[in-house]
Structure 1
Amino acid sequence: MRDLPKSADLLAWYDLNAREMPWRVAPKDSITGIRADPYRIWLSEVMLQQTTVAAVQAYFIKFTTLWPTVRDLAAAEDADVMAAWAGLGYYARARNLLKCSRSVVADYNGIFPSTRAELESLPGIGPYTSAAIASIAFDRAEVVVDGNVERVMARIFAHDVPLPEAKPALRDFATKLTPKKRAGDYAQAVMDLGATLCSPRNPTCAPCPWTEKCRAHKLGIAAELPKKTPKKPKPTRFGTVYLAQREDGAWLLEQRPDKGLLGGMLGWPGNEWSEDPENVDPPISTFWTPLNGEVGHTFTHFHLKLAVQVAQVPLEAAPLRGVFVDASTFSANALPTVMRKAFDLAQGLRDKTA
């Protein structure tokens, strides 16, 4: 243990260099016993999955302005929450936000539980999120491991086994270094270290509080770690979406199935996305104009290319599926990103021909 870095050194660095975030409590306050609101920590952690801090902050402020407490969120309309989430991606997270908030209200009287076991009984909360909430909001000595922490651990211990195979060992390393006191601050300190000084490329080692104990730094291999197993190429799927606008300005939208990508979201009617998509009948019988160009979008496991067809229809047009949304309530910004890209492509054509 003598050769291991000390949590006290990292905490001293964190006290001076902690990043300011709207869900955090400053180190000087946490030292006096002021804890972060578990609702805000939970919300931020769900938002931060697969997303950057910079992208999340505006969404977090919007959510906590609309729904300041877990009770407020639990009472919200599903469509309003999904619309506020639009653009963050991974829409199952938004559905789980509602399920989890309602479970906290129904099963825990609106008060988040403090133990990992109880937290993980809630919808959408897994091992990482439960550890983060228990540590940061309740100062329990839980081990919080995200990508930043894995990178720091791989370098401190010069562990050259590639990810994801290295994950268990990196967690063990993180467990060795997690202190019993100020565990919440420590968890955030390691994440801040990884996000700032111990960055993926060109780590800034000189001002790091753990440089002297960092084995990768001594070996001159810090920038090479952690190693990663090469990813398999993502397949490309194809599809078609249909954008129909009624002569009064209303747009034809369709709610997607609850399960699957963009589950429960409103979007443009279309066919299933696949590498060899099947043709489907358009959602309304009319003359459709295929647009030049296509919409490109990348999801976690595949690339998507969408053909876009547009139509103007009369007031009496009867859709085969989907519903018309009045122009007064339609907002392209409330659509999932890929659907908004299709709208933007159609609008771009309209602007050129207007």
Structure 2
Amino acid sequence: MQHENFQRAVLGWFDQYGRTHLPWQKERTPYRVWISEIMLQQTQVGTVIPYFERFLARFPDVESLAESSFDEVIALWAGLGYYARARNLHRAARIIVERHRGQLPTSLEELSALPGIGRSTAGAILSLGSGIRAPILDGNVKRVLCRHRGIEGWPGNPRILEKLWELSEALTPSIRVADYNQAMMDLGATVCTKRNPGCSTCPVGRDCEAFRSGRIDAIPATKPRRTLPVKRCFMLALTNGHGAFYLEKRQNVGVWGGLWSLPEFDCEEDVYAWCGKQHIDCSNLERLPQRRHTFSHYHLDFVPLVVRTGSDHCQIGEPSLGSWLIPNETIGLPAPILKLLTEIAD
């Protein structure tokens, strides 16, 4: 299929079936596109929608985001995961205000230089937000192109990735670029899905190499699997019996960076030793079953240890690290910790 025919087929399908009702598609601006694209990285549309709406209600423009504290940002991000995205978003907003007069750059190079914005995200911001011709290559687009052209192997392989970028660049039209890029993402998300794709309704399925050769399930190849390492710890759920827990603010780096969480220990003996130093009676300590939370690069197995003090006035060392707080969705707690504390409080 010639490039023009491919573009025409994709745009014709978009005019009939494309998604136009999503929150970030209303009053589309570079800022709104940027926020949505960052949130949509590694995250499903249905999950993102309520977070996007709450985030935009609090931070309607880049200036309000830049002027906010990171605590405000991370509290609204809590539960969405991949928290480096929130840190990069906040840093980028301040750079945009300080160096670009509050306007997102309109060049691919300047956009890609901002924290958390890669080549595909920059292309989406330019094309969807400003109508500037720029190719994109998110996971959905990779899958469509790999299947249509019969490109085998894992798309993350540098050699294959370079080939896909060349193809995306060649296929991206000069007119209706926003609709085309949105159409390619929609096509991958709703028709050319990972499993059970709707090939019979695909606008470019007639000359799809993977479909013609019966290799839909094999193309593209999945990422080579690797065994995730396991990290283990004990978490102290110290509660005063009135709904508050002693929580510590994590450093703004690493997983759960900037969030509130429970004190962590390497072994159960360390928990008893810590409580002893703080003159906390832990004779009623309750050991809950081990839980697992999986990050992108490792499993975390943790054992919650519940201690009920009956008082929130015990003197705890390093007071700058911790505070007695009632867990809820406004203070920036990791989703598995919020779930755990809610269960304990009940």
Task: Please state if 1:62 is matched with 2:25.
Answer: no
Residue aligning to 1:37:
29
Structure 2 residue matching 1:325: 3-state secondary structure: strand
Which residue is equivalent to 1:316?
313
Q: 1:277 to 1:107 in 2, by over 3 A?
A: farther
How many Å apart are 1:3 and its aligned residue?
7.8
Aligned CA distance change for structure 1 residues 218 and 4 (closer, same or farther; 3 Å): farther
Distance 2:176 2:202 in 1: 20
Q: Sort the Cα spacing of 1:264 and 1:238 in 2 relative to 1 into closer, same or farther, 3 A.
A: same
Contact 1:156 1:213 in 2 (8 A): yes
**Match of 1:115, as an amino acid?**
S
1:5, 1:213 within 8 Å by CA — same for their partners in 2?
A: no
The CA RMSD measured in Å over matched residues stands at: 2.3
1:202 paired to 2:196: yes
Which residues in structure 2 correspond to 1:1-354 (within 5 Å)? 2=2, 5-19=5-19, 20-25=21-26, 36-165=28-157, 166-246=160-240, 249-271=243-265, 279=270, 281-282=273-274, 284-288=278-282, 289-313=285-309, 314-321=311-318, 322-327=321-326, 330-331=327-328, 334-347=332-345, 351=346
SS across alignment from 1:87: coil
Task: State TM-score, norm by structure 1.
Answer: 0.87
Tell me by how many angstroms 1:338 deviates.
Answer: 2.6
Over 3 Å counting, the alpha-carbon distance change for 1:91 and 1:278 in structure 2 is: farther
Q: CA deviation at 1:5?
A: 4.8
User: For residues 203 and 171 of structure 1, what CA distance do their matches in structure 2 show?
Assistant: 23
Residues in 2 aligned to 1:212 and 1:14: alpha-carbon distance in whole angstroms: 17
Structure 2 CA distance for aligned equivalents of residues 191 and 262 of structure 1? 29
Rate the CA distance shift 1:111–1:277 in 2: closer, same or farther, 3 A. farther
Q: How far apart are 1:239 and its partner, in Å? A: 0.9
Letter matched to residue 170 of structure 1: L
The alpha-carbon deviation at position 282 of structure 1 amounts to 3.1
Query: Kindly, what percent of the aligned residue pairs are identical?
Result: 34
Preserved CA contact (<8 Å) 2:135 2:169? yes
Whole-angstrom CA distance in 1 between matches of 2:102 and 2:48: 24
* Kept after mapping to 1: 8 A contact 2:312/2:324: no
CA apart distance, 1:148 = 0.6
Instruction: Measure how far apart 1:53 and its partner are.
Output: 0.7
Farther-moved stretch of structure 1 (38-47 vs 332-341): 332-341
Q: Is the 8 A contact 1:164 1:228 kept in 2?
A: no
Q: Which moved more, 1:280-289 or 1:38-47?
A: 280-289
What stretches of structure 2 of length at least 5 have no aligned partner?
Answer: none
Asked if the contact 1:163/1:227 (under 8 Å) is kept, the reply is yes
Which 5+ residue runs of structure 1 have no aligned equivalent? 26-34
2:286, 2:305 within 8 Å by CA — same for their partners in 1? yes
CA displacement, residues 207-236 of structure 1 (integer Å, 9 cap, x when unaligned):
211112212122122232111243112122
- Give secondary structure in 2 for the equivalent of 1:331: coil
Residue identity matched to 1:320: G
Q: Indicate the SS of the match to 1:254.
A: strand
Tell me how far apart the structure 1 counterparts of residues 126 and 147 of structure 2 sit (CA, whole Å).
26
Checking the alignment, whether the CA contact within 8 Å between 1:197 and 1:203 is kept in structure 2 is yes
> Aligned pair in 2 of structure 1 residues 72, 7: CA closer, same or farther (>3 Å)?
same
Q: CA deviation at 1:290?
A: 3.6
CA contact (8 A) 2:247 2:325 kept: no
Inter-partner Cα distance in structure 1 for 2:242 and 2:145: 59
Deviation of 1:23 (Å): 0.6
- Amino acid in structure 2 at the alignment position of 1:106: E
In the alignment, the residues of structure 1 paired with residue 64 and residue 295 of structure 2 have an alpha-carbon distance, to the nearest angstrom, of: 31
Distance 1:145 1:278 in 2: 50
